[in-house]
Structure 1
């Protein structure tokens, strides 16, 4: 579907048909020899001009070029056979030329047309001033229209590019949202699974302890629901302190000895959120994939390390969680590194 700019641009070409009024008046007043054929040619001229312009705005360039070629033939037929004084019609011809012919070819075509027109006017006995004025109007009309058509083409290209960028942004946002959801729920669901296993083990022999674990599952589920809602409205992360507290509990429930060496520090909100995400993702991988017995979380200035003595995340090492965490780190000018030597090490560094 054509844009409003294209429709308004096309409509701006049609008022120039008023240049055909003087020839029509000459025909009506009987001032033209062979009035019948001349009238037919003038009507064909108007139709071909309209058709050339309309087709050029509808990207039917081959058909528009054919209509333009016919228009050129009819124009010079009028000037050589019926009405040698209708030279101002050539302005309409070059306007149509500027609309149809694209690129550098328009300069060659306009040069050929104006040179032919100058020759015809000279042979008809026109004066130098008349020739120069007519040629100036014809050449400038075609060039201006060519520039305008190029601008229309650039506007259309920019509009298509903007739409493609919008689609790409939507796709990127969907991917970001899916990774955020994975990061949020992966940890919480891992904790819930561990606690559910504890409930299953404790239920036959300690109903009270099993009930406490079940209450923790309920609390974790409610927390997950709140986090999902926060994600939908623009989630930014809970921060390092909150994630460390959750990590201690989760590791203990999973039977993994936790060592936390994180001094109290004040970070920028973006850095605090990133470190919180790193703890959440790292501890989730430790619980779900590593088979570790011990895990150490250490913060040294702007470097956070999560090190366990297990086998690492295995096939999930390049999963959505670590990939999303790496993207967040890069966005802040930081880096994410992993190492599988002597257990698994996750290191996040920020400026």
Structure 2
């Protein structure tokens, strides 16, 4: 099955380039003069000439079609065919002269189609044109000197047009690749956002559900309060998911800090929040909000902590967020997807994110950002007028 699919892709690629190969076939009419010379009985050894003309046309057609398939154009067989075409052209032009000299421009078309740029083009063009000039002056003196010019123009114009076509094709392929890369990047961003949203929300729902189970037998009012909180968290999660899907979600650091206090309190962890420093750009606030959300989610899920401290401070240039708990941290297995994704996003914004155990026990997440972070597309913010 794989072989069949590979063959179909190759056949499709050859079919797409086939019409371009056909565009060089009408130039074979330049050989009609040589055919007329044979049919008019003016040529010596007409059978040899006829066989040579048929071979020339066959080689020219094979080279032209192979020249439009990159895998075949650079193959040894194509270069062998081109060499044979060159030798045959010189042999027929030397042997018959006059009308047969028009085979040189056809040789130029084949050379330009195969050798489109670079040093090879110069190394082949010079001897072909000089050789055509010598043969033309010898066989027809100055009457057919235009053939030499036509040979040179055939090589250079064909090579330039086809090289430009290759460049356009490469640019189109690059543009398509950039578009695919942008789609993959957006998918990755959305998957990270969805992971962070649902991970935090489900953690809060689990903690509050456990609180309901503990309170229900002896404190019905407290259990109802926790159920109301679960309903509120669920509605908020639905809103945030809709906003994330439409791409309009702007995280608020103050909102995330309030949610962190509530989630930590519900899990039996004492929250301590300290905030100071300058006002932040919306992009920096949103990114630090994700750091708070992920760090608190890990503390609630994995740490077994009794106290969690969130500290935000900074200068006019940089801001630092530190989330420290006195638990064991996410020691089970490798670092989570959330922290890895956050580390990449913070790095993209020009900052750093470190996480690990503290010397006195516990776990700490530290994020540093410039106060003005780039937009999500990687461009720096425009200065205000």
Post-superposition offset of 1:68: 2.6
* Distance change >3 Å, CA 68–CA 251, structure 1 → 2: same
Q: Which of 144, 152, 157 in structure 1 is aligned with 2:165?
A: 152
Report the more deviating stretch, 18-27 or 211-220. Answer: 18-27
* Distance change >3 Å, CA 243–CA 170, structure 1 → 2: same
* Residue equivalent to 1:19: 30
Post-superposition offset of 1:294: 1.0
* Residue equivalent to 2:272: 259
Q: Which of 107, 126, 141 in structure 2 is aligned with 1:126?
A: 141
* Residue equivalent to 1:329: 346
Post-superposition offset of 1:49: 1.9
* Residue equivalent to 2:336: 319
User: Equivalents in 2 of 1:227, 1:7: separation in Å?
Assistant: 53
- Per-residue Cα deviation, 1:132-155 (whole angstroms, up to 9, x for no partner): x33232133213323333333344
TM-score with structure 2 length normalisation?
A: 0.79
* Residue equivalent to 1:179: 192
Q: Is the 8 A contact 2:108 2:155 kept in 1?
A: yes
Q: Is the 8 A contact 2:17 2:69 kept in 1?
A: no
User: Which SS does the other structure have where 1:238 is aligned?
Assistant: coil
TM-score with structure 1 length normalisation?
A: 0.85
Mind listing any 5+ residue stretches in structure 1 that lack a counterpart?
A: none
* Residue equivalent to 1:107: 122
Q: Which of 269, 288, 291 in structure 2 is aligned with 1:275?
A: 288
- Per-residue Cα deviation, 1:159-201 (whole angstroms, up to 9, x for no partner): 4444444444443333322221221111111111101111221
- Per-residue Cα deviation, 1:18-39 (whole angstroms, up to 9, x for no partner): 4234334445655545555544
User: Equivalents in 1 of 2:256, 2:334: separation in Å?
Assistant: 21
Q: Does 1:140 align with 2:159?
A: no
Q: Which of 68, 76, 85 in structure 2 is aligned with 1:57?
A: 68
Q: Is the 8 A contact 1:110 1:142 kept in 2?
A: yes
Q: Is the 8 A contact 1:65 1:101 kept in 2?
A: no
* Residue equivalent to 1:303: 320
* Distance change >3 Å, CA 310–CA 199, structure 1 → 2: same
Q: Is the 8 A contact 1:237 1:276 kept in 2?
A: no
Q: Is the 8 A contact 1:260 1:298 kept in 2?
A: yes
Report the more deviating stretch, 104-113 or 51-60. Answer: 104-113
User: Which SS does the other structure have where 1:297 is aligned?
Assistant: strand
User: Which SS does the other structure have where 2:309 is aligned?
Assistant: strand
User: Equivalents in 1 of 2:32, 2:85: separation in Å?
Assistant: 17
Post-superposition offset of 1:208: 3.5
Q: Which of 182, 195, 200 in structure 1 is aligned with 2:213?
A: 200
Q: Does 1:350 align with 2:369?
A: yes
User: Equivalents in 1 of 2:367, 2:14: separation in Å?
Assistant: 49
- Per-residue Cα deviation, 1:52-72 (whole angstroms, up to 9, x for no partner): 111110232344334433433
User: Equivalents in 2 of 1:37, 1:240: separation in Å?
Assistant: 89
User: Which SS does the other structure have where 2:324 is aligned?
Assistant: strand
Q: Does 1:69 align with 2:88?
A: no
- Residues 41-56 of structure 1 aligned to structure 2 (within 5 Å): 41-56=52-67
* Residue equivalent to 2:131: 116
* Residue equivalent to 1:226: 239
* Residue equivalent to 2:381: none
Q: Is the 8 A contact 2:310 2:321 kept in 1?
A: yes
- Per-residue Cα deviation, 1:283-329 (whole angstroms, up to 9, x for no partner): 11211122211112222132222222222232467322122222222
Total equivalences in the alignment: 349
* Residue equivalent to 2:102: 88
Report the more deviating stretch, 136-145 or 165-174. Answer: 165-174
User: Equivalents in 1 of 2:159, 2:235: separation in Å?
Assistant: 65
User: Which SS does the other structure have where 1:285 is aligned?
Assistant: helix
RMSD: 3.0
User: Equivalents in 2 of 1:318, 1:235: separation in Å?
Assistant: 29
Mind listing any 5+ residue stretches in structure 2 that lack a counterpart?
A: 1-11, 371-385
